Structure 1
Amino acid sequence: MTTVAIIPARGGSKQVPRKNLRRVGGVPLVARAVQAAAAAGGIDLVVVSTDDDEIAEVARAAGATIVRRPAELSGDTASSESAILHALDELGRSGVDVEVVAFLQATSPFIPSDALADAVALVRAGAADSVFSAHETYGFLWRRARDGQAAAINHDADHRPRRQDREPHYLETGAFYVFTAAGFRRSGHRFFGRVAIAEVPEWSAIEIDDEQQLAIARALAALHQPRHPIPARAVVTDFDGVHTDDTALIDADGRERVRVSREDGMGVSLLRRAGVPMLILSTEVNPVVRARADKLRVPVLHGIEDKEQALRGWAAENGLDLADIAYLGNDVNDLPAMRIVGWPVAVADAHPRVIAAARVVLTRSGGDGAVRELVERVLPG
């Protein structure tokens, strides 16, 4: 039974421009959806339906097959159903006979792959015709009547039972829907036949429709990201705010002293012994940067204004792919370098824009073991 995940992702968006390419946890939303689908058992093919060249490139790099959507199905009034039907037709013309569809929305950045896999299994086993993601809620819902008065919806306003005495309801999250292709074609919509619920955690239910929700999602990503190993082949770090706590002591002669972590020193030693290339890349020209790099026996480029170009040059000289580099930063001058590497990483107390751009946010702050934490993720075990 062929199961295909279809992710509609058009280029236009009014509330959040280029929304499907905006990053949460350092990863574009469309790529997060592709990764969630690929990690779910039972899905044979992941397809992104788009009218946009950049979205297509990002989705393809994440592992998706691209279906190019025509302009008449890409406007503000185009429905997700029309994009799914078009994708099914295109796949059929290429010889893919789809029996089960998993429809994912890229605007939901926290799609639980395990719940998606369970939903796919239900439909594939014939236990349900349509399954949708939802979270349990005991909330009292109200509506505003035409006269401006409030009216209770799912409860009696004059009877307020305790939570444990109430029946839960389920709030649709919009993250994913799984259904048979044949039933979808017959009905023209995603709910038909025997409809079941795939329960997901409430924290994962956020949908991004405006900039505030995007900011909330980025904060949630830092809290809920899994502590998976980081498969980087090289490590590059900033200095101030990464190896230090971003403060300096200045004596009467103008000489600076900084506070560093011995933990970080041991981490760098472990990285060096493992043969993993490392570089300190700093805009500072203070001798303390060179002194610390010499102590760690790590090459340093300091007094660098254009970190992106310096990093590109160092990677080329050492035969390294930028996708294989982890860059650890803390402030906005690190953003250009973070954007070009495969593993942009932020210390725990980094600037909010750096945290937003990071694929991984560490639990340790600069000068307090952050470098050691990164090393341990690069060298698991």
Structure 2
Amino acid sequence: MPKTCKNGKRPGSELSQDTIPQKRNRNNKHPVSEVSHSSSCEESKKKPIAALILARGGSKGIPLKNIKMLAGVPLIGWVIRAAKDAEVFDSVWVSTDHDEIGKVAKAWGAQVHKRSAEVSQDCSSSLETIQEFTREHPEFAVICNIQATSPCLHPEHIQEALELMTKQGFESVFAVVRRHHFRWEEVKNRVNACTKPLNLDPARRPCRQKWKGELCENGSFYFATRDLIDKNLLQGGKMVYYEMKPENSVDIDVDIDWPVAEQRVLRYGYFGKDKPEVVKLLLCNVMGCLSDGTISLFANGDDEMSYHYRDQAAINMLKKEGVEVILMSSRDYPIQAALADKLAERLGCLVKQEVDNEMQEVDNKMQEVEKLMKERELEWKDVAYIGNDGADVECLKLAGLSAVPEDALETARIAAKYTCRNAAGHGAVMEFAEHILLLKKKAKSQMEQDRINRNNV
């Protein structure tokens, strides 16, 4: 038998609600429930709206999956970024029982609601967790429950769904995707048992082109008024679905989902407001990024360092795409002038030795970077930055694209927008370069599509 809670709920049924009869509204392509809506929709236009992302630490399928790196970004970071950039919420919250998840959520700009043990069990429902949040934050008239495992969610999905509430008076809006799956009745007793079709006639199997398919919840988000939530509903009242494309409908439950989701998010994910096609400069630490930081000392006083051949190829790739590369040697990890000259000659790029002064290291690095930007008339959105320690934190936060090697310090990892799977000196620079070029290609493709769309209007 399936496991149940004391209240009789089954694990995994967090969002199930009683089905409400639907009818078609002539003026709206979405189905509308027959239940009349209350004045709470009018109130939602006036009172604050919150995004609430549920991220429990006790995931059984993939331990701590909510902060596991997906395409260089913590899984929960994808939806936090989309929610914040939608610019429709008064605040974005993550409800969690795990300190590490809370730490990552704050680093990505969300506020943290520390959920109680009572709603952090395997059998706790999403509704119970949301209700705990609304009791502690009664100022919110509308809650948008965003699923942490939906990394292909975009700001426009959220904006368009919310408009159904604020402009058309719906009380609940939820995301769906169109599926073309033939469903059959489950056979529990195999002895002389036959199955039955649930949504097709086997004698008249429709071809995909002539079958519209079925609308299935994809779990990306659930908008609901506070009034509905207080009545133990996430879907109810005057409700409507918001249909998302299949490529944006990604869910992750078990390990086998991860590589598929990673490929999908690289192609269809939302990478933020910064336009990667304008990146013109890559700044890279020599020690801790290009090199693993190992220094060999010889009797004659010379230093020796090594780097991965793929990282040299990465620098050449970027240069061919018009991206200047500058290597930076910090005062804490200096390299000899002769070695810097040799490195510059071999890699064909400038090696910048930081000026040693009495300023703190972070301020010193910022000063050097901003000086380089000013000389080239660049802004932070034009800069990609790969660093590895505390002195890089501010630059990692400000750069249009930023990354750290797999073995970087935790403070740098949290500040970066991308975490490489490779360690310093072992191909991390190549990995980040490929990421930069992929985003530039994607952005150029989108610009071309936008141009085509404008011309066809």
- Could you tell me the TM-score, scaled by structure 1's length? 0.71
Q: In the alignment, is the contact (CA less than 8 A) between 1:102 and 1:176 conserved in 2?
A: yes
Identity %: 24
Residue matched to 2:163: 121
Residue matched to 2:268: 224
- Per the TM alignment, residue 175 of structure 1 is displaced from its structure 2 partner at its CA by 1.0
- Per the TM alignment, residue 123 of structure 1 is displaced from its structure 2 partner at its CA by 1.6
2:416 to 342, 356, 363: 342
Residue matched to 1:52: 98
Q: Is 1:296 aligned to 2:352, yes or no? A: no
* Aligned residue type for 2:263: A
- Per the TM alignment, residue 180 of structure 1 is displaced from its structure 2 partner at its CA by 1.2
- Could you tell me the TM-score, scaled by structure 2's length? 0.60
| Counterparts in 2 of 1:197 and 1:50: CA distance versus 1, 3 Å | same
- Per the TM alignment, residue 339 of structure 1 is displaced from its structure 2 partner at its CA by 3.4
Residue matched to 2:308: 240
- Per the TM alignment, residue 225 of structure 1 is displaced from its structure 2 partner at its CA by 4.5
Q: In the alignment, is the contact (CA less than 8 A) between 1:100 and 1:123 conserved in 2?
A: no
Residue matched to 1:309: none
Q: In the alignment, is the contact (CA less than 8 A) between 1:235 and 1:327 conserved in 2?
A: no
Q: In the alignment, is the contact (CA less than 8 A) between 2:153 and 2:269 conserved in 1?
A: no
- Per the TM alignment, residue 267 of structure 1 is displaced from its structure 2 partner at its CA by 3.2
Matches within 5 A, 1:197-212: 197-212=241-256
Residue matched to 1:104: 146
Q: In the alignment, is the contact (CA less than 8 A) between 1:136 and 1:169 conserved in 2?
A: yes
Structure 2 unmatched runs, 5+: 1-44, 291-306, 355-359, 367-390, 445-457
2:328 to 273, 279, 292: 279
- Per the TM alignment, residue 229 of structure 1 is displaced from its structure 2 partner at its CA by 3.4
Count of residues in correspondence between the two structures = 325
Q: Is 1:139 aligned to 2:186, yes or no? A: no
What SS class does the counterpart of residue 262 from structure 2 fall into? helix
Matches within 5 A, 1:362-381: 362-363=436-437
- Per the TM alignment, residue 142 of structure 1 is displaced from its structure 2 partner at its CA by 2.4
Q: In the alignment, is the contact (CA less than 8 A) between 2:280 and 2:322 conserved in 1?
A: no
Q: In the alignment, is the contact (CA less than 8 A) between 2:52 and 2:146 conserved in 1?
A: yes
Task: Report the Cα distance in structure 2 between the residues aligned to 1:27 and 1:4, rounded to whole angstroms.
Answer: 23
* Aligned residue type for 1:145: V
What SS class does the counterpart of residue 59 from structure 2 fall into? coil
Deviations 1:78-130 (A, max 9, x none): 111111000001112xxx2x211111111222222211211111122343222
- Per the TM alignment, residue 36 of structure 1 is displaced from its structure 2 partner at its CA by 1.5
| Counterparts in 2 of 1:297 and 1:354: CA distance versus 1, 3 Å | closer
Matches within 5 A, 1:162-181: 162-181=207-226
- Per the TM alignment, residue 69 of structure 1 is displaced from its structure 2 partner at its CA by 0.8
- Per the TM alignment, residue 300 of structure 1 is displaced from its structure 2 partner at its CA by 8.0
- Per the TM alignment, residue 336 of structure 1 is displaced from its structure 2 partner at its CA by 1.0
* Aligned residue type for 1:190: L
Residue matched to 1:318: 365
Task: Report the Cα distance in structure 2 between the residues aligned to 1:354 and 1:143, rounded to whole angstroms.
Answer: 50
Matches within 5 A, 1:12-27: 12-27=58-73
| Counterparts in 2 of 1:215 and 1:165: CA distance versus 1, 3 Å | closer
Residue matched to 1:310: none
Residue matched to 2:301: none
Q: In the alignment, is the contact (CA less than 8 A) between 2:179 and 2:213 conserved in 1?
A: yes
Q: In the alignment, is the contact (CA less than 8 A) between 1:104 and 1:177 conserved in 2?
A: yes
Task: Report the Cα distance in structure 2 between the residues aligned to 1:85 and 1:116, rounded to whole angstroms.
Answer: 21
Deviations 1:31-84 (A, max 9, x none): 222212112243222111111222222212222222211111111111111110
What SS class does the counterpart of residue 151 from structure 1 fall into? coil
Q: Is 1:86 aligned to 2:132, yes or no? A: yes
What SS class does the counterpart of residue 127 from structure 1 fall into? coil
* Aligned residue type for 1:342: A
Deviations 1:188-236 (A, max 9, x none): 1312123211111212222111112122222222233467436899721
* Aligned residue type for 2:99: D
Task: Report the Cα distance in structure 1 between the residues aligned to 2:403 and 2:105, rounded to whole angstroms.
Answer: 25
- Per the TM alignment, residue 26 of structure 1 is displaced from its structure 2 partner at its CA by 1.8
Task: Report the Cα distance in structure 1 between the residues aligned to 2:136 and 2:182, rounded to whole angstroms.
Answer: 44
Instruction: State the Cα RMSD in Å.
Output: 4.1
Task: Report the Cα distance in structure 2 between the residues aligned to 1:293 and 1:315, rounded to whole angstroms.
Answer: 24
| Counterparts in 2 of 1:321 and 1:116: CA distance versus 1, 3 Å | same
Moved more, 125-134 or 318-327: 318-327
Moved more, 233-242 or 176-185: 233-242
- Per the TM alignment, residue 178 of structure 1 is displaced from its structure 2 partner at its CA by 0.8
Task: Report the Cα distance in structure 2 between the residues aligned to 1:162 and 1:207, rounded to whole angstroms.
Answer: 27
Task: Report the Cα distance in structure 2 between the residues aligned to 1:262 and 1:23, rounded to whole angstroms.
Answer: 25
What SS class does the counterpart of residue 221 from structure 2 fall into? strand
Task: Report the Cα distance in structure 2 between the residues aligned to 1:194 and 1:359, rounded to whole angstroms.
Answer: 49
Structure 1 unmatched runs, 5+: 247-258, 273-277, 302-312, 365-369, 377-381
- Per the TM alignment, residue 22 of structure 1 is displaced from its structure 2 partner at its CA by 0.9
Q: In the alignment, is the contact (CA less than 8 A) between 2:247 and 2:268 conserved in 1?
A: no
Task: Report the Cα distance in structure 2 between the residues aligned to 1:104 and 1:328, rounded to whole angstroms.
Answer: 26
- Per the TM alignment, residue 297 of structure 1 is displaced from its structure 2 partner at its CA by 2.6
